[in-house]
Amino acid sequence: MKLATWNVNSLNVRLPHVMKWLEENPTDVLCIQETKLTDDKFPVTALETAGYQVAYTGQKTYNGVAIISKLPITDVVKNNPKFEDAQQRILAATIDGVRVVCAYVPNGQAVDSDKYQYKMAWLAAFHEWISEEAALHPQLAVVGDYNIAPEDRDVHDPAAWVGMVHVSPKEREALQRLLEIGLVDSFRLFEQPEKSYSWWDYRNLGFRLNKGLRIDHILLSDALRQRCTGCVIDRAPRKWEQPSDHAPVIATFS
């Protein structure tokens, strides 16, 4: 089984990239974020014709998440039942006995901004809900754009990022609390190249100079960790024409 997460930064623009990537990288479950599409605009036909089932929840202009799967999708839940949220950022579903949570964690904009307060409140409620999901579903994968770089080695220039959103101690603690539920960052289960990132700024030749952050993660419960045989970041689509600023992260399972 192969499970991937990718912030596509507008599915309207990136649908061809998604289709091409799925063709080149047969994937059982692809979780995407920032679709920026209302549900009536979701490209159901294109994906179904390619042999995938879909679940999605979106809104105009911002946010929006979806799960694209070769295998049947059941027990779909939209949003965190414990957090009233007008923003469409969470989709959970069961696929092949695995509970998959696709999440787009708020950006936070700047430490101590209103958006940062929202991010922290969102993460607290997410922790509460994921704790329960973990108790209910031994095989749990919590994947998506976390907008948090866990450690300094996940940041191209840690000194330059001190005090910035994505690396602040409070955000990192929130991610750590999620891990304490019994989840593991699948990327760090395996030897990885130095300076591995999943996002690069469009500006300043960010990708060319590998000035990035590793903020997209696949967190796994212990039962899934036992089955995990690899986790990689696929930089290839970041080199395509008109790319998303994020790259897919892929975990494989026995």
Hey, what are 42's tokens?
């979701």
Q: Which CB, 2 or 172, lies closer to DNA?
A: 172
115 binds DNA (CB under 7 A): yes
Q: Which sequence positions are flagged as catalytic?
A: 104, 145, 246
- CA distances for 165 relative to 59, 80, 116, 137, 238, angstroms: 24, 23, 8, 32, 23
Q: Is 201 annotated as a binding residue?
A: no
39 binds DNA (CB under 7 A): no
Candidates 107, 131, 192, 252: give the one binding DNA (CB under 7 A): 107
61 binds DNA (CB under 7 A): yes
17 binds DNA (CB under 7 A): no
- CA distances for 45 relative to 7, 41, 52, angstroms: 21, 11, 9
- Sequence-separated (6 or more) residues with CB below 8 Å from residue 157: 211
DSSP 83-123: S--SS--EEEEEETTEEEEEEE----SSTTSHHHHHHHHHH
89 binds DNA (CB under 7 A): no
Determine whether 96 is exposed, middle or buried from the number of CB atoms within 10 Å of its CB (0-12, 13-18, 19+). Answer: middle
**Helix orientation angle between 169-180 and 114-136, rounded to the nearest 10 degrees:** 10
Candidates 28, 34, 154, 185: give the one binding DNA (CB under 7 A): 34
Q: Which CB, 8 or 95, lies closer to DNA?
A: 8
240 binds DNA (CB under 7 A): no
Q: How many residues bind DNA (CB under 7 A)?
A: 28
67 binds DNA (CB under 7 A): no
Candidates 1, 3, 9, 238: give the one binding DNA (CB under 7 A): 9
Hey, what are 244's tokens?
């998303």
Among 46-54, 55-63, 73-81, 228-236, the segment contacting DNA (CB under 7 A): 55-63
Whole-angstrom distance between the N-terminal and C-terminal Cα of the chain? 7
245 binds DNA (CB under 7 A): yes
Binding to DNA in span 120-159, by CB under 7 A: 145, 147
Torsion on CA atoms 18, 134, 254, 34, rounded to nearest 10: 10
Q: Is 147 annotated as a binding residue?
A: yes
- DSSP conformation class of 155: B
Q: Which CB, 37 or 73, lies closer to DNA?
A: 37
Residues that bind DNA (CB under 7 A): 7, 9-10, 12-13, 34, 36, 60-62, 106-107, 109, 115, 145, 147, 165-166, 199, 201-204, 213, 215, 242, 245-246
